[in-house]
Amino acid sequence: MELLSEHGCFGGLQRFYRHDSKEIGLPMRFSVFLPPSAAHHSAHDPAHSPAPALLFLAGLTCNEETFMIKAGAQRLAAELGLALIAPDTSPRGANLPGESGSWDFGVGAGFYIDATQAPWAKHWRMESYITQELLPLVTSTLPINAARVGIFGHSMGGHGALTLALKYPGLFKSVSAFAPICAPSHCPWGQKAFTGYLGAEESSWAAHDATALMGQHTAAPYPGGILIDQGLADKFLAEQLHPHLFEAACASASQPLSLRQHAGYDHGYYFIASFMADHLQHHAQQLAH
């Protein structure tokens, strides 16, 4: 992997990388923040314990820089000794017809799933990219502990965080989300993406729908609790997000859920930055062991 840039940040290092992805078949970019405890140690230093890490999945139209620039997470992550990892939100450079025709499908809108429909199936493989390639890459080459990784995200990335956590509990020890798309099978964003990437047969959609996935559980997959923050001034709440459906599914599975709803907060990064510290603390507690 190629280091594109490196910046000192709260005693740690903020890095941006590019690598040739086998899963995607194209170059992919991602960012990593290493806290001071890990920034100046190699991955194979026997005298140093690798850092726990949080993987953040960003929302529609975002990229690997958005979270690191806007969320204000590095200061507390440095104090807590947490590494931060942020992938891009889709493949780029495939030059497929229609890939840039709308802001909620194609480029910047990978939805963290593996597409099965042409022409998307060849490159739009974000689920396999994250779980099978990116995480093994960063944990094998950087001082990051593969056994202590949490996942969180925003909007489309909140959908990705919830679904990947539920599908890969062996990879992720903790999960949270900001304004996630909780039931994509039942909202316009999800229906558009799933139809395009997975096909019109809705039976295939449930494997990528957090509410449906939680509904398959009879015991809590994350007994330490799931944290979701939602702004009540979010213009997408009523039509696109449906946290009440996920809340009901968690209740049925006896999954502890803290669904916090905040008056006056919208869908953007001012909202995310306002509650970032709570999410980092939530994960730090569950990744401590």
- Is the confidence at residue 42, as pLDDT, over 90? no
- Nearest-angstrom CA–CA distance, 196 and 107: 13
**Which residues, 6+ apart, have CB-to-CB distance to 268 below 8 Å?**
none
Query: 140-185: per-residue pLDDT in tens?
Result: 999 999 999 999 999 999 999 999 999 999 999 999 999 999 999 9
- Nearest-angstrom CA–CA distance, 189 and 201: 16
**Which residues, 6+ apart, have CB-to-CB distance to 253 below 8 Å?**
214, 215, 217, 218, 219, 220, 221
Q: How confident is the prediction for the chain on average, in pLDDT?
A: 96
Among all residues, which ones are annotated catalytic?
Answer: 155, 234, 267
Query: 77-90: per-residue pLDDT in tens?
Result: 999 999 999 999 99
- Nearest-angstrom CA–CA distance, 234 and 252: 27
Residue 45 confidence (pLDDT): 61
State the pTM of this model: 0.96
One DSSP character per residue, 223-243 reads TT-EEEEEETT-TTIIIII-H
- Nearest-angstrom CA–CA distance, 57 and 227: 15
Residue type, 135: L
Per-residue pLDDT averaged across 242-266, rounded? 97
Contact status, residue 134 vs residue 112, Cβ threshold 8 Å: no
b (16+ CB within 10 A) / e for 233-266: ebebbeebbbbebbbebbeebebebebeeeeebb
**Which residues, 6+ apart, have CB-to-CB distance to 107 below 8 Å?**
90, 91, 92, 99, 100
Residue 242 confidence (pLDDT): 98
**Paired tokens of 113:** 């799933």
Residue 2 confidence (pLDDT): 97
Reported confidence tier of residue 43, pLDDT bands at 50, 70, 90: low
DSSP-derived 3-state class of residue 49: coil
The phi and psi torsions of 173 (rounded to 5 degrees) equal -95, -10
Query: 198-242: per-residue pLDDT in tens?
Result: 999 999 999 999 999 999 988 899 999 999 999 999 999 999 999
The phi and psi torsions of 161 (rounded to 5 degrees) equal -65, -45
**Residue entry with tokens 């990744």:** 287
